Each structure stands twice: as structure tokens, then as C-alpha cells.
Structure 1
């Protein structure tokens, strides 16, 4: 086994493609494939499932990857301490539904430990993608919500994918609207108050399951409904069209438009926000630090971390 092979393995797992990994590593695809076959032969395991859709790690591959990252981290420490060889980029990735506190913590992480060489990834993405990213190790951590409606389905999927969900904090549902929306005159909002306003929700791809919705009460009918793919657009439509969405109530004046207001929604429901990790993978020091920063921001909004 060579250190270079472990670096190749990490790149393949990150890209999900032998061809793309070869391009980024500046080697030929046959050379990369042969190197991985030699690694599999040496340890008598199958590291990947290979299909037309790409490359995914097997269960044995995920476990091997866990040890491999530990070895690469130790090599990196040696290079930093003794000044020999190329210092490995610090690598970290998190996938999440669309939450400001996730971005806040990510910004702090990069500022604190990024240094001169790093490759960090923040994926604000569809709910199913968050689960898949953690399962396939594209990300170490994922941030999603669970409530009474989606709990059974989400927990089944989490178990099937060998993941673990850890609650962070509970919030009551809030309606997000533009500051000039007439609804801002109310201290609380009912569902009846919302019927004439455009409902904004994040699209969930081809699956489009109600259980994957980032907004509670996703099965309710709406006269006006606009699907959005990103957080900047949803805020623009709140202001431009007097649209609304339902979320946690956390708004960041540092990262989000200050024209947005959160108003409590009168429904009997609780949103539990938490993080996902893979059961078989130990979290890296970077992931653990990110979690601490995430918790700090949550406490900063006045919530008690579970």
C-alpha cells in the first residue's frame, strides 16, 4: 500500500467518478483504475460498486476510507512538522437543507482553520441529496429537520442508509415574509391568513416526496405555489411578490437580506433540527470543530442545544 493510493481513493470517493478523479489528479484513467485494483487485491476487499451512474463505496470501502483518512491526516501532520513533502489540503464537506446557521458556522470554520491550503465544500441541496451525500461520504455531516409528519419515513431512510441523526434543537414553525408584507402587522399568523399569498417552497427534484419537503404542512393545497431552488431567490420573491415560506424562524442579518421578517405560525407542530453522520465513520477533527461552531451559533440565537 502506498500513500499515493490512499490519496487516489479519497479523490474517487469525493468525485464519485474514476474519470473525473483521474482528470483532477492529472493521471490517466487506466492508471488510476489499476492502482485501485491493486489496493483491492492487496487487502482482499471490494472498495467500490461500479455502474454507469458512477462509483460508490461499498460498506468495506467506507470502513477502509475511515482508516485511510486517519493515515493521510497523520502524514499531513508529519509534513507540516518536519517540512518535507507536500502538505495535504485540509478537506471537509457538509450538506444541508437551506439554513443560515449552517452557513454561519461554515464561514467561521474556514476563517479559523482554512489557512493557505484547503478544499471545503458546502452543499445547500435537496433533502434526498443530503442523505445520499452522507451515505456515499461526499460529505461528513448533513443538517436536516424532522417533525411528526416526516419522522417515520425519514428515520426509516436514515436506518437503511446506515446513518445516524442527532437532534440539535427544537423550534416552533415561523412564517418568513418580506418586511413590507401586510402580514407583518400581526404578532402571530394563522393558515387562513396565508391563503391569498404566494407559497414558496424548495423543489425536491424528481422524487418530490412530501416527506422530503423542507417546509412543514407540505400536503396542504395552495392557490399560488412557486418552487425555488436556492435561498437567495426565495428571499427575493418574498420581497418582490409578497410570498412566504415556513421555516425555523432563524434569520441572519449578516448573511441574509434584512428585509425578511419571521412571524410565529399558529400550528401545533415542532421542528427538530439535527445533524446526520455515517454510523461506520469516525468524524474528523474538522467535522467535530464544525459541530461545535454550529452549536455556538444555535445558542447565539437563544436556543438550547440538546
Structure 2
């Protein structure tokens, strides 16, 4: 195996095309194809599905490229330290439910290590997609919550997908509302206080099971209920319709959340927020640094890290 072959592999995965990758690498298409065939033969794996419309990584290919990126990261560190080569483009991806602290840490990571070239991905997405992204190596880190209602089911799914859930902190449920909502006159809320207001929740697509809900108490009946797919829209509806949702209580003024207020909810329940990673993949230095920044922001919000 040669380092050059791993660089070729990453370029093919990035472009989805042998021809386009060859052009960008300034080598011939037959030479690139041969290099990949030799790599597959050496390790006894099929890295790509080849078709008329392009190339996609196999499951083994996605796993292989995560290991190869670790190797290339180490090579990059050597080159950077001794000044022998151009610094390699930073690559990192995180998938999460909709939490401000996830975005805060991501912003800090990009500012700190992004450099002149980087390819980072932040996916605020459905719960099932978070698990799938980590299982298929689309993201290194996933952020979700567990509580006494969903924990048994979620931990079973996490184990089936060869993932691990690492708790970060515990949060008491809060009701998120717009600043002008009449509910803000109360310092604490009961479920009865919410009965006449529009309940807002994140939709979960085809796997719209109560266990995948991002909000606790998902099984309760609501007279008025709207499902939303993104955080900006849910905030707009909190303001425009006096709607509410239930979450961790973390609101970020840095992310234009100043129009939203979090009010404690009187209920015997809590949320354990944590991160997912794949058991079979060694965490990259970028992912490790992201987790450090994530913990810093959580502490800044007044929570204690487990």
C-alpha cells in the first residue's frame, strides 16, 4: 500500500467518478483504475460499486476510507511539522438532533483548525438519520438524548449498529417559547399551562416513532400540533404562533436565539444528552478536538460534564 493510493481513493470518493478524479489528480484514467484495483487486491475488499452513472463506496469502502483518512492525517502532521508539503484539507462531519451547543462547538472548530482549505459537514437531522450516519461513517460524531422513556429501545438500536453512546450531561426539561408569549409571565410551567398553545416538534420522517422524538412526552395528546424540519422554522413559529416545544433549556444568543425564552417544566423526568461514535473506528484528532469544544460550551451553559 502506498500513501498515494490512499490520496487517490479519497479523491475518487469526493468526486464520485474515476474520470473526474483522474483529471483533478493529473493522471490517466487507466493508471488511476489500476492503482485502485491493486489496493482492493492487496486488502481483499471491494471498495467501490462501479456503474454507468458513477462510483460509490461499498460498506467496506466507507470503513476503509475512515481508516485511510487517519493514516493521511498522520502523514499530514509529519509534513506540517517538517514543512515538506502542503497542509492537507481538513475533513470532518457531525450529525445531531437540533441543539445550539452542537452548532456553537462546530463554529469554534472551523475557526480553530479549518485553515485555508476544509470540507466540514454539520447535519441537524432526524434521530434515525443520526444513527445511520454514524453506522455508515458519513459522520464521526452524533449527538442525541436518552431518557427513561426511549432509553431501552434506543440503546438496543445503538448496540445493533455497533455504536456507543457516551453521556455528556443531564438536563431538566424546559419549555421554549417566544419572548412575548403569555407563558413567560410564569417562572415555572406545568403541563396544564400548555394545553391551549400550539405544540411544535421536529418531524422524524418515515421512522416517526415516539421513541425517535427529539422532545420528551411525545406520546401526550395535543389539541394543536405542528411538525417542523429545521430549527429556524421552529423558532419562527414560536414567535409567530405563540407555539412551544420542550427541550434541554440551552439557548444561544450567539446563534440569534434572543427572541426565545426557556422556562423550566415541572415534571419528574430528565434528558441525558451525549454523543455517539462507531465502536470499530478510532476517533480522529479532529473529532477529539470537537468533543473538547463541545464540553467547553456545555460547561459555559452551566452544566456539569459526566
Q: Give the TM-score taking structure 2 as reference length.
A: 0.89
The Cα of 1:195 is off from its aligned counterpart by: 1.3
Q: Residue 242 of structure 2 aligns with which residue?
A: 242
* Superposed displacement of residue 302, structure 1: 1.0
Which secondary structure does the structure 2 equivalent of 1:95 belong to?
strand
Q: Secondary structure at the match of 1:196?
A: coil
CA contact 2:189–2:264 (8 Å) conserved in 1:
yes
Which residue of the partner structure matches residue 152 of structure 1?
Answer: 152
| Aligned residues of 2:173 and 2:246 also touching (Cα < 8 A) | yes
Please state how far the C-alpha of 1:29 moved relative to its aligned partner: 8.7
Q: Structure 1 unaligned segments of length 5 or more: list them.
A: none
1:132 aligned to 2:132? yes
Matches within 5 A, 1:130-209: 130-209=130-209
Partners of 2:122 and 2:20 in 1: how far apart?
A: 22
Residues 145 and 271 in structure 1, CA contact (< 8 A), matched pair in contact too: yes
Higher mean C-alpha deviation, range 293-302 or range 31-40: 31-40
SS of match in other structure, 1:206: helix
Task: Describe the superposition over 1:132-185 as per-residue Cα deviations: whole angstroms up to 9, x where unpaired.
Answer: 111111111010001111111111111111100000000111100001101111
1:107 aligns to 2:107 (yes or no) = yes
Any residues of structure 2 matched to 1:1-306 within 5 Å, and which?
1-10=1-10, 18-19=16-17, 23=20, 26=23, 35-47=35-47, 55=56, 57-58=58-59, 62=63, 64-306=64-306
Aligned partner of residue 205 in structure 2, secondary structure: coil
RMSD of aligned alpha carbons: 2.6
Q: 1:134·1:276 contact (CA, 8 Å) conserved in 2?
A: yes
Deviates more, 1:178-187 or 1:112-121: 112-121
Contact preservation (8 Å) 1:56, 1:136: no
Offset of residue 31 of structure 1: 7.4
Deviates more, 1:147-156 or 1:241-250: 147-156
Which is worse superposed, 34-43 or 143-152? Answer: 34-43
Q: Secondary structure of the residue that 1:254 maps to in structure 2?
A: helix
Q: How high is the TM-score relative to the length of structure 1?
A: 0.89
Change (3 A) 1:184 1:136: same
Question: How far did residue 12 of structure 1 move?
Answer: 5.9
**Alpha carbons 1:200, 1:234 under 8 Å: kept:** yes
Choose 167-176 or 113-122, whichever is displaced more.
Answer: 113-122
Unpaired segments of 5 or more residues in structure 2?
none
Q: Deviations over 1:243-289 (max 9, x none)?
A: 00000001111113211110111221110000000001111111111
Cα–Cα, structure 1 residues 98 and 34, in superposed 2: closer, same or farther, change >3 Å?
Answer: farther
SS state at 2:164 partner: strand
Deviations along 1:78-119, one digit per CA (max 9) or x if unpaired, are 332444444310111111111001111111111111121211
